[in-house]
Amino acid sequence: MSDRDREVLTEPPVAGNEADTLVGSLERQRATFAWKCADLDEAGLRATVGLSTMTLGGLCKHLAFVEDYYFTFRLNGEALGPPFDAVDFDAEPDWEWRTSLDDSPASLYALWHGAVARSRIALAEALARGGPDQLIRHTWPDGRTPSLRRMMVDLIEEYARHTGHADLIRESVDGRTGEDPPA
């Protein structure tokens, strides 16, 4: 990851509207995750902790998939693009975790950055169309259709959980700790 990740680090507004608070929280999670994964070589991105097989590279690829899945498929009802469009996730549910071991740091970082950039555009367009109350295109198996608000909260939760994983892995690699990237 790079200095551009630190550029988008924002605190959610102290007394902002709902959309700005949700976007600010998501951006803070993204920036903190990016900092935890930044500036690593293949060994650093492949490091594990304890018995876990989770790696920072796997987290990058997984969150790239999650970004595209949420903002391309769930929000807009569109088909996923490469590389995710060629994967049978029913047959290979851990595809992104397993295949990240074959990817270079540059390709993992580029995949995640590209997914985040597409997501930012899709989210801005959706918020301009109707705010967090609007329903997304994806309907759950039980027939309910969540709002954009719920989708954003789910994505914030996904990042918060995986940033916690990244905290532990990164500390084991080189001792990097902390909640926010240095200013």
Domain ranges of the chain: 3-174
Tens place of pLDDT per residue across the chain (183 aa): 344 444 455 678 888 889 999 999 999 999 999 999 999 999 999 999 999 999 999 999 999 999 999 999 999 999 999 999 999 999 999 999 999 999 999 999 999 999 999 999 999 999 999 999 999 999 999 999 999 999 999 999 999 999 999 999 999 999 998 887 776
Cα–Cα distance, 164 to 10 (Å, whole number) = 19
Q: What are phi and psi of 30, to 5 degrees?
A: -60, -45
Cα–Cα distance, 74 to 69 (Å, whole number) = 6
Cα–Cα distance, 156 to 27 (Å, whole number) = 9
Q: Which class does domain 3-174 fall in? A: mainly alpha
3-state secondary structure of 91: coil
116's tokens: 């985040």
Cα–Cα distance, 163 to 9 (Å, whole number) = 14
Per-residue pLDDT, 9: 54
Residues 166, 33 contacting (CB under 8 angstroms): yes
Per-residue pLDDT, 4: 45
